[in-house]
Amino acid sequence: MDGGAAIWVVSLILVLTLYLLITEKLRVDLTALGIMVVLMVSGLLSAKEAVAGLANPAVVTVGAMFLISRAMMRTGAVGFISNQVLFLSRDHQSRAFLVILLLVAVASAFINNTPVVVLFIPVVMSVCCRFETSPSKFLIPVSYASILAGTCTLIGTSTNIIVSDLSQAHGYGQLGMFELSPVGIPIAILGIAFLFFFAPRLMPALSNPICEIRGSERRRYLAELIIPADSRLIGEEPQAHFEKHFPELQVLELIRGVRIYRPGRDRVRMVAGDLLLVKGSASGLVGILGSQLAELPASEAGLHFGRRDMEASVVELIIVPQSALVGSRLAGTGLSRDPDLHLIAIKRSGLHYAEAKLRDIRLRVGDILLVWCPLSRLEELRRSTDFMLVEDVHHEIVHKRKAPVAALIFGGFVTAATLGLADIMVCALTGAFLMILAGCIQLRDAYRALQGEVLLLLAGTIALGTAMDRSGASQLYAHAFIGLFAGFPPVVTLAGLMLLTSISTQVLSNNATAVLLLPIAISAALGLGVDPKPFIVAVCLGASACFATPIGYQTNLLVYTPGGYRFSDYLKLGLPLNLLVLIAGSLIIPHYWPF
């Protein structure tokens, strides 16, 4: 295919892609897959080149980030940050939103903004649960705030570093650490103010899936716990200690020998061998068992929440109407005698708490048993006609004892990426691997966290960008666009260059856009007989002004699925923000870098 025909074909593919992504006539992942297929079939790219995006560092990095984010949620490591946001906002929703935007902006000015957004996605979800509002109103603004702040320093984004290196290669010197601050900080302030006032009005109000999970955690189970001889609970008052350290659990009774104490009424301290009757969430029960402060009764000996978690799962078994277990004592069922199954707790509406032993309970229709079982037994349990297996409870459990480990891994990942000890992809993959190895997230949960539709979308658009560059379409459009401003004053050409850079970065990656357009920017400045420095800064700013699509920047893709967004949602807030940045940049840049 000759050059002219290739440009026409790739232009047609680009227009069709944008139409399908905006209208969502096809699913975004199907559209992305279609891009790769058409590029291969048309001969614009070889098969290897068309699918190369699947191995692109950006795709691998985003995938690893999804996993790390899920691990941070599963361990509850974001709880501290969420609490601090609520404290600083004094329980006011608008203040909380502003605090989050400012924290994200300050961090993103000095740290790669991808891990910053990864950290704050679950924080936003949690805070939105507290205020019973939709996270879809705030997740895109969090991404945009991180992008805006990235233009404030040299290390705020990799694009700035690339432009600095290219500037030196062309003989115009490197950019200083804070050389971009005079233009970046005012624009970031304007942008964050715009997001604060307009995002709640322009963004959709969708349900919060995390709140739905938390709502399901209102399912509270009844369980028996034994205090072992080496437990740190010995000598503590049950009610006071659990309220402070295990608020998800309520101690209903303490059984010692033949005596029954009620902690809310009787003053008693725990001793070895005490049997606690507790009521609480699955997370709370698994948490205290994992801490080894308490154990299940002797009939459940051998249950350990450690490395065996990697091959086991916590599930619910719901007793169905036709079950042969209805009316049977729990202790007499095959479930109780099965050495592979461990009964953690039971849930029943209106359960009479005075029953001294759970094993004496006779099962009824609708009873829910919380059971620990090996993965190898799940298929057998699914086939049973005596109960219905619910596996989602496993994904609701927060392993808080792993929170310090998850926070340490995340901190190490951010530090290594910030100091440049390794490439961001290497740091992200290492962090994901350590999260799995340390038990912060199970491997099957990691697969669920990958969000394949987002990764396919990124891979497909990378292939399209490669085809545009290979065919010469990108260069043709760039030169033609700049040619439109021939004869105009330098400030108009500067504004046009920023607009071109911003448009290009919506389709190409921001780094590829910078590499493509910097030589064109320098040539345009020399053609006008002015200093190229303001045009170099304009490329930095324009390449980061990628607010109108989810494919323009990694952080936009990170919030795509958690926020439940459509492609068009980015246009609502992104287009006016893009316009604001371009106008402000056109006015501020000539003031600090005269022509």
DSSP string, 477-530: HHHHHHHTTTTS-HHHHHHHHHHHHHHHHHHS-HHHHHHHHHHHHHHHHHHHTS
pLDDT at 359: 65
Instruction: Report the range of poorest mean pLDDT among 277-281, 311-315, 447-451, 524-528.
Output: 311-315
Fill in the amino acid letter for 267. Answer: R
Among the listed residues 514, 494, 457, the one whose alpha carbon sits nearest the alpha carbon of residue 589: 494
Query: Averaged over 219-226, what is the pLDDT?
Result: 80
pLDDT at 306: 42
Instruction: Report the range of poorest mean pLDDT among 70-74, 128-132, 234-238, 395-399.
Output: 395-399
Share of the chain above pLDDT 90, in %: 14
Of these ranges, 43-52, 256-265, 470-479, the one predicted with the greatest mean pLDDT is: 43-52
pLDDT at 246: 85
Fill in the amino acid letter for 344. Answer: I
Q: How confident is the model at residue 494 (pLDDT cuts 50, 70, 90)?
A: very high
Distant-in-sequence, close-in-space partners of 526: CB < 8 Å, separation ≥ 6: 532
538 vs 305, residue with greater confidence: 538
pLDDT at 178: 85
pLDDT at 575: 93
N-term to C-term CA, the chain: 43
Average pLDDT, the chain: 80
> Is residue 144 over pLDDT 90?
yes
What strands lie across the sheet with 221-226, from one edge to the other? Answer: 259-261, 249-256, 275-280, 221-226, 342-347, 368-374, 312-319, 387-390
Query: Averaged over 91-96, what is the pLDDT?
Result: 85
pLDDT at 82: 65
Tell me the whole-structure pTM to 2 decimals.
0.62
> Is residue 85 over pLDDT 70?
yes
Kindly report the CA angle at 173 between 168 and 179, in degrees rounded to 5?
A: 120
Q: How confident is the model at residue 355 (pLDDT cuts 50, 70, 90)?
A: very low
Number of neighbouring beta carbons within 10 Å of residue 555: 32
Distant-in-sequence, close-in-space partners of 334: CB < 8 Å, separation ≥ 6: none
> Is residue 140 over pLDDT 90?
yes
> Is residue 366 over pLDDT 80?
no
Q: How confident is the model at residue 434 (pLDDT cuts 50, 70, 90)?
A: very high
Q: How confident is the model at residue 398 (pLDDT cuts 50, 70, 90)?
A: low
> Is residue 299 over pLDDT 90?
no
Q: What is the pLDDT of residues 555-592, one digit of tens each?
A: 888 888 788 888 888 989 999 999 999 999 999 999 99
Query: Averaged over 299-317, what is the pLDDT?
Result: 56
> Is residue 124 over pLDDT 50?
yes
pLDDT at 217: 45
Fill in the amino acid letter for 258. Answer: V
CATH topology of domain 218-398: Alpha-Beta Plaits (3.30.70)
Q: How confident is the model at residue 28 (pLDDT cuts 50, 70, 90)?
A: confident
Helix axis angle, 403-419 to 424-437, nearest 10°? 170
pLDDT at 194: 96
Domain ranges of the chain: 13-50+77-209+452-481+495-592, 218-398
pLDDT at 214: 47
The C-alpha atoms of residue 564 and residue 556 are separated, in whole angstroms, by 12
pLDDT at 301: 46
The C-alpha atoms of residue 153 and residue 183 are separated, in whole angstroms, by 10
> Is residue 302 over pLDDT 50?
no
Of these ranges, 70-79, 304-313, 343-352, 565-574, the one predicted with the greatest mean pLDDT is: 565-574
35 vs 23, residue with greater confidence: 35
Query: Averaged over 207-212, what is the pLDDT?
Result: 53
Displacement of CA 328 from its chain's centroid (Å):
45
The C-alpha atoms of residue 475 and residue 478 are separated, in whole angstroms, by 5
The C-alpha atoms of residue 352 and residue 444 are separated, in whole angstroms, by 37
Displacement of CA 471 from its chain's centroid (Å):
35
Cβ–Cβ < 8 Å for 456, 29: yes
Q: What is the pLDDT of residues 467-491, one digit of tens each?
A: 877 888 877 877 787 778 777 888 9
221 vs 559, residue with greater confidence: 559
pLDDT at 300: 46
398 vs 287, residue with greater confidence: 287
The phi, psi pair for 260, rounded to 5°, reads: -120, 120
Query: Averaged over 517-527, what is the pLDDT?
Result: 83
> Is residue 260 over pLDDT 70?
yes
Among the listed residues 477, 573, 496, the one whose alpha carbon sits nearest the alpha carbon of residue 535: 496
Cβ–Cβ < 8 Å for 274, 242: no
> Is residue 537 over pLDDT 60?
yes
Share of the chain above pLDDT 70, in %: 88
Among the listed residues 224, 370, 221, the one whose alpha carbon sits nearest the alpha carbon of residue 297: 224
pLDDT at 582: 92
Q: What is the pLDDT of residues 316-354, one digit of tens each?
A: 788 877 788 888 887 778 777 787 787 777 877 655 444
Query: Averaged over 426-454, what is the pLDDT?
Result: 82
Among the listed residues 80, 65, 75, 138, the one whose alpha carbon sits nearest the alpha carbon of residue 104: 138
pLDDT at 535: 92
